[in-house]
Amino acid sequence: MTLEKRLSAFVQLGDFIRSLDDETLTQLANEAANENPWFTKANVRLALSGIQQNLTKENLNQWTSQYDFNHVSPKSVGLVMAGNIPLVGFHDLLSVLISGHKAMVKLSSKDSKLMTFLLQRLYSFEPDLKEAVAMQQQALKGFDAVIATGSDNTARHFEYYFRNVPNIIRRNRTSCAILTGKESQEELHQLGEDVFSYFGLGCRNVSKLFVPNDYDVTNLFQAWNDYEPIIHHHKYANNYDYQKSILLVNKETFLDNGFVLLQESERLVSPIAVLYYQRYTSLEEITNQLKVVEEKIQCVVGHAPPATIPLGQAQHPALWDYADGVDTMNFLTSLR
């Protein structure tokens, strides 16, 4: 199968996603929520929106034009997918298939319905792609390379189990934001997308804010009023109640607007329903601090360096915005 045919199939998949009606989306979200209660209709819609924005002829051509596919020798690439947010493993699957390899897919039990749905539609556009995907129910076997995503604990297992083949092993990461105090209310509202999308469960979700020494963090509460419905999700509400009770029992200082808890802390990864913030005196201070923990950071949001992503855009990566900064397509096209 030629690269052009593979690209065409994914362009058609993007068109299909754009054509989904509300009834179909609701049914799909309900099936996904049966596997994972965090997968609400809004979150499924957000995930599909990001995928369909990338699956255009222009974006796919821009992405693939950077690589040489002429000397790719087809291999079997194992994909161990996570299930923290909807379709989080789609980019890996896309990369393997576009590069001309065979994907041996181990879906997460928390996110199988959505990926299966998209694969079945993809096969209808290009039936030959069905021969390039093998769904694995048990542990992966017979692979030539692996891309595996999991927690820090599972990553240690992956490193041992996949030690004899080329691999990309992904661990826990989080994201942070840098505020200067010059942001408008609209920009702070957009920051809420980075914080609250997917209930904060993704590696691209902001879990830590860096703010100037004299910054009034209560400014955020007014800007985030529109995100209040998040507290009506039972699992998020349970986390909010639990974290609040812990803070109260420990007599720790925090701010509360009824659906998120702000706590001043030097820690990097905040629990669900909690957002850490830390004051700074200079941007150089933040740059040095983030260098120490760069292997734990997925992205940095804000206008001031070292931030590289605009406020509100953390959950909208382009095809070439690779997880952990590792060029997946270069890895795949270099397999020999």
| pLDDT per residue as tens digits for the range 50-94 | 999 999 999 999 999 999 999 999 999 999 999 999 999 999 999
Q: Are residues 102 and 186 in the same domain?
A: no
Q: Are residues 104 and 53 in the same domain?
A: yes
210-267: pLDDT as tens digits? 999 999 999 999 999 999 999 999 999 999 999 999 999 999 999 999 999 999 999 9
Domain carrying residue 248:
174-302
Prediction pTM value = 0.95
Domain count, the chain: 2
In a domain, 314, yes or no: no
Q: Are residues 167 and 264 in the same domain?
A: no
What is the CB neighbour count within 10 angstroms for residue 28? 21
pLDDT at 139: 83
Q: Are residues 114 and 130 in the same domain?
A: yes
297-311: pLDDT as tens digits? 999 999 999 999 999
- Nearest CA-CA partner of 132 in 55, 87, 75, 63: 75
Q: Classify residue 133 by burial, with Cβ atoms within 10 Å: 0-12, 13-18, 19+.
A: middle
Residue appearing with tokens 């996904």: 32
In a domain, 317, yes or no: no
CATH of the domain at 66: 3.40.605.10
